[in-house]
Amino acid sequence: MRLHLFGLKSDGMAAVRGQPRIASCDSQAYGIAARREAHKSGCAKTDALLAATMTDWYRAQRRALDRPDFSFRPPAGAPIPAATMYPPIEARIADAAEALRRLHETGEIDWTDLSPLAAYRMAFMDDESID
């Protein structure tokens, strides 16, 4: 299973990059920075201030991504072969979870059919040794 991490600061994003189980992360750091800047300067947190702060934050993130030591992973929509990330049993379950995700995206199954147990069942449904 791959995770989305909410609310990470830039240092946190840098710390988890390259971790195979992290699919994506987001941050509200620019919003907090804009709120602090507005308070410090005694002005309102306008859309223009927020946009300028977000632009600065984005540029800082791009600089971090452009560093030579950054290891890029494909986005969540581009599956990573599970066998390269997990031991054999976990890889089989991860592949099943990815197959379920694709079935959900195409509308073949409902979101209520997505669960760790469903992935486990799908991973081993052809295995006669498991009842």
Are residue 49 and residue 96 in the same domain, yes or no? no
Measured torsion, CA atoms of residues 74, 77, 81, 85, in degrees rounded to the nearest 10: 60
Are residue 61 and residue 107 in the same domain, yes or no? no
pLDDT digits (tens, 9 = 90+) for 77-89: 555 555 555 567 7
pLDDT digits (tens, 9 = 90+) for 103-119: 888 888 888 888 888 88
Q: How many domains, in total, are found in the chain?
A: 2
List the structure tokens of 31: 């919003």
Task: Report the C-alpha gap between 114 and 122 in whole angstroms.
Answer: 11
Range of the domain at 60: 3-66
Average pLDDT over residues 100-105: 87
Is 130's pLDDT higher than 50? no
Q: Is residue 71 part of a domain?
A: no
Task: Report the C-alpha gap between 10 and 60 in whole angstroms.
Answer: 9
Single pTM value for the model: 0.42
Are residue 55 and residue 91 in the same domain, yes or no? no
- Strand 3-5 relative to strand 22-25, pairing: parallel
The dihedral through the CA atoms of 59, 65, 15, 93 has a sign that is: positive
Is 39's pLDDT higher than 90? yes
Q: Is residue 118 part of a domain?
A: yes
